[in-house]
Amino acid sequence: MVAALCPTCSLCCNGVLHRWTRVFPGEEALLERLGLEKVVRDGTPCFDQPCPRLAEPLCTVYADRPRTCRTYHCALLQKVEAGTVDVAAAQRDIAAARAAIDRIRAALSLPAGATPWPAVTALLEALAAAPDPIAARRKHAKLLADVATLELLARARFLPPQPP
Ligand code: SF4
Ligand code: SF4
């Protein structure tokens, strides 16, 4: 199932779903070889996303990738593997997410591969601080719709269910 979904996706590597990737003890030499900088986030050893070894949508070090990358299966992939979501439906969700990312990057003039969230957060703060926040949001209605779509897809399809 990985082959049917992941090569067109990379949402778990490009910073859309996660801010960092966990590193396990003993992977220091591997990280150095791959040019991945080990940092600590929320008390967890990791490297930051978007991953510098990602050339969207593909991992450039796939055969040598760290343990988290080898074992991570997002909720969507797990559901396809369990047979509760069919491959075509999952591919449609991936395509919709990727299209939203492309439009958000274009609207915000972000470079290829950039994680959209920091720029989206900055925009939302600017809109909230505008003299007429409603008019300001209306001007960016298409972009905000894409942001809402991407957030919804990430939460409802790719990430594990959150506790109520
Ligand atoms: S987010 Fe899921 S489907 Fe996409 S690359 Fe990661 S594991 Fe594969
Ligand atoms: S090493 Fe490869 S699989 Fe792991 S986060 Fe980077 S691009 Fe993704």
Q: Give residue-wise pLDDT tens across range 74-119.
A: 999 999 999 999 999 999 999 999 999 999 999 999 999 999 999 9
The structure's pTM equals 0.93
Q: What is the pLDDT of residues 6-34, one digit of tens each?
A: 999 999 999 999 999 999 999 999 999 99
Distances (CA, A) of 25 to 30, 32, 42, 162: 11, 13, 17, 28
Nearest-ligand number for the alpha carbon of 55: 2
Residue 47's closest CA among 27, 63, 62? 27
What one-letter code names the amino acid at 68?
A: T
C-alpha 51: how far from its chain's center?
Answer: 10
Using CB distances shorter than 6 Å, the residues near ligand 1 are 5-6, 9-12, 17, 72-74, 76-77, 158
